Amino acid sequence: MANTSSSLVGILQQRCPRCHQGPLFTHSALNLAHFTEMPTACPVCHQVYEPEPGFYWGAMYISFGFSTAIMLVVGFAVYYLLGDPDTWVYITAVAVVALLLTPLSLRYSRTLMLYLFGGVHYDARYATGRR
């Protein structure tokens, strides 16, 4: 994988905030039995992924924002594409899309929580292996 100092790319690829190389999650988001599992530290630079006990409780607020955005986007899409159908269509569409996007929502909320509030920033020395 190519080295990049871009935090946006690191977030999108769900990589370590310090080296942008180590994965934040041990399994694919498609592995529904283990999509939440994270290693305790980065396998590349050994940055601890949980700065304090209960750190990821704050990710619930970010996840709530994602869920609200999903609800609004799907609701507007249903309204404009289907011509304001019955209420059950809105509820079903939002529920199905939200359920399908739950693994990504959880993972990206944790990723954003670590990048924004984890107190760790990109350091090129850790990305290249020189410390």
Asked which of 7-11, 56-60, 109-113, 126-130 is least confident by mean pLDDT, the reply is 126-130
Can you tell me which residue has the tokens 């292996």? Answer: 129
The pTM for the full model equals: 0.85
Other Cβ atoms within 10 Å of 110 Cβ, number: 23
Q: How far apart are CA 55 and CA 53, in angstroms?
A: 5
The candidate with the shortest Cα–Cα distance to 49, out of 39, 58, 37, 62, is: 39
Structure tokens at 10: 């690191």
Assess whether pLDDT exceeds 80 at residue 21: yes
Q: How far apart are CA 127 and CA 90, in angstroms?
A: 46
Give the tens place of pLDDT for each residue, 52-108.
Answer: 888 999 999 999 999 999 999 999 999 999 999 999 999 999 999 999 999 999 999
Mean of the per-residue pLDDT values of the chain: 89
Residue 131 pLDDT: 57
Residue 99 pLDDT: 94
Contacts of 96 (CB under 8 A, 6+ apart): none
Other Cβ atoms within 10 Å of 56 Cβ, number: 19
Residue 32 pLDDT: 81
pLDDT band at 2 (very low <50, low <70, confident <90, very high): low
Q: Encode burial over 12-25: b for 16+ CB neighbours within 10 A, e otherwise.
A: ebbbbbbbbbbbbb
